[in-house]
Amino acid sequence: MTEERPGTADPRAGLAEARTAMARFRTKLALDRTTLAWIRTTLTMATFGFGMVGFFRSLRRSDPSVESIRLHEGAIRFGTILIVLGIAATLGAAGSHLVSLRRLRKGEAPVLGHWPLSVTVALLVTVAGLVGLWSLFAR
């Protein structure tokens, strides 16, 4: 082990601090990329929902039979659920991003919860799909 003289600093300390600052910067950039990916995903989900609602409403008006109205209403409900899920997931992504940035500013590591946003949204979309199928074929 090397004995240090008083007043001489270890030259590796500055390098370690610079590496830590760069690692923190890279983590912030990764969080930004993840949040932007969530925004793209949720925007696509909501846009698809708006498209479904508009398309099936126009079909419903052009073919007012009882069977087509029932099918179109189920598709409209599913589209509405996609819009709501898109909005909720966007808010969840923003909240998760802010919490992670706050933890980084405090010098703490970002953590994943027991139910990450991706798993939550995947489960909700699955439930929405099952409800949509059920509403199409139940009666």
- At 40-96, the pLDDT tens digits run 999 999 999 999 999 888 888 887 788 788 888 888 888 999 999 999 999 999 998
Helix ranges (H only) for 3-65 are 11-62
Give the pLDDT of residue 8.
62
**Is 108 within 8 Å of 24 (Cβ atoms)?**
no
Q: Where are the chain's structural domains?
A: 33-137
Give the pLDDT of residue 94.
93
Give the pLDDT of residue 129.
84
- At 26-40, the pLDDT tens digits run 888 888 999 999 999
Specify the amino acid at residue 60: R
What is the per-residue burial (b if ≥16 Cβ within 10 Å, else e) of 75-107?
Answer: bbbbbebbbebbeebbeebeebbeebbeebeee
Q: In whole angstroms, what is the distance from residue 88 CA to residue 92 CA?
A: 6
Find, among 118, 121, 100, the residue nearest to 109 by Cα. Answer: 100
Q: In whole angstroms, what is the distance from residue 74 CA to residue 83 CA?
A: 14
At 7, is the pLDDT very low, low, confident or very high (cuts 50, 70, 90)? low
**Is 87 within 8 Å of 121 (Cβ atoms)?**
no
